[in-house]
Structure formats: C-alpha cells, structure tokens
Amino acid sequence: MSGWRPRIRFGVEGTRSRGERTLRVTLNVLFGAAIVSLLIGAVVAGQTRAIAEQHPIRTIDFRNFTYANTCLGEVTVVNGIFSSSEGHLSVGEVVYGDLTGDGAEEAVIVHFCSGGGSQIESTGVIYAMRDGKPVELPIRDFPGGDRAAGGIVRAEIRDGLLVLTRNDGSDNPPLCCPNVTVTQGYSLIGDRLVAVGAPVRKAIRAR
C-alpha cells in the first residue's frame, strides 16, 4: 500500500505535463514569428534606404504636401485632399521616372481641381529634387481638361516620355460621359511637353 497513489494525481500530473509542452511549443512558435518579423523589417528598411538613396524624390509625401500653383492658388493637401469654401482639390496619380535625361527621377502628380460649380479641371505638375528639396518645374500648358473634355484618365512614364491618357472631347460629348480616350506621349523639352508620335484613340464601352 505504501507505493499506491490516487489515480487523480496521475491525471493532474499528466494534464500539467501536457500544458507545459503546449506552452513550450507556443513560446517557440511566437519566438520564431518574432525573429521572422524582425528579419522582414530589416529587409524592408534596407530596401527603403536604398530607394531613398537612388530615388530621393520617392521619399516625398505628395499626398500631404503644399502646392504653390493650383486653380485655387497655394493649397496644402492632407491625405490627398484640400477643401474649403473656395473649392476643392484632390491628388490623383503620382508617377515617377526620368523625364529630363539627367539620370534622376522626377515625379508627376495629377490634380483634380474645382473652383466652384460643376467644373473639375484635371492637370498635372512635375517635381524634381534640387539640393535635397522638391522643386516644381515650370511647365507651360500641361495637357488636361474638364472631365470628358480632355480630363486626365491615366499618367505613366515610359522610356523617358510622359504618357497621358485623356478623355477626347473633340466630338463634344456631355461632360459627364466621355466616349473616347486618346493616349499621347510627350517629351519634356525645356519648359514644354512636346507631343511625340501619333495619338492612340480608343472607344469607351458603354456600361
């Protein structure tokens, strides 16, 4: 009888042992996940530093930025939006590429601006880094327009050219309802965007 133990003690000890094993496994999994997270963070941080060194213009937050020249004058956007009793401005696409041939990227930012009424004018601005600061390049007559009448649909930079897809308003569609887009490449020469090649028109399918 001296070696006899109540069965209940085996159950408690067995449960405790299983609980300890489960705890160890859980801790190992959490530790491994933490190591992986740290490694991923280090890789991302390294990539971010590399991008900042190679393409410093990409470190500028153009969705939280002050623009000097808009249809409303100087405005500061927050999360891509400016709104006041005078009108509204929103930041559309921000695209990057070398437009000047100097080996450094510029940024093209599309704006949608309304100074009142139903008009929503789309246009763009181009920024370059100068002495570590973003500087707006003086561009004459950036192609754009009001919704169906030349409004910007998409902006890209390909092979040193700014490629804009805009609504084609040549057939005078209702401003709400464009029916054709036109895609045109532009070369930045001095302070002008000069059309290069033939435009490509594409019908918009009716919904």
Q: Note whether 168 and 177 are within 8 A (CB).
A: no
The reply to whether 47 and 73 lie within a common domain is no
DSSP H or E segment with residue 39 = helix 7-54
Task: Tell me what pLDDT residue 44 has.
Answer: 38
The reply to whether 149 and 71 lie within a common domain is yes
The reply to whether 36 and 67 lie within a common domain is no
The reply to whether 107 and 123 lie within a common domain is yes
Task: Tell me what pLDDT residue 45 has.
Answer: 41
Consecutive 10-residue runs of the chain (207 residues): their mean pLDDT? Answer: 53 62 75 65 46 84 97 97 96 97 97 90 97 96 93 97 94 86 97 97 80
The reply to whether 117 and 148 lie within a common domain is yes
Give the number of domains in the chain. 2
The reply to whether 125 and 167 lie within a common domain is yes
Task: Tell me what pLDDT residue 14 has.
Answer: 58
What residue numbers bound the domain in which 129 lies? 61-203
Cβ neighbors of 66 (< 8 A, separation 6 or more) are: 74, 75, 76, 77
Task: Tell me what pLDDT residue 11 has.
Answer: 54
**Is the pTM here over 0.75, yes or no?**
no
The residue from 54, 79, 98 where one domain ends is: 54
The reply to whether 102 and 136 lie within a common domain is yes
The reply to whether 30 and 96 lie within a common domain is no
The reply to whether 117 and 140 lie within a common domain is yes
DSSP state at residue 138: -
First vs last Cα of the chain: how many Å apart?
89
129, β-bridge pairs:
134
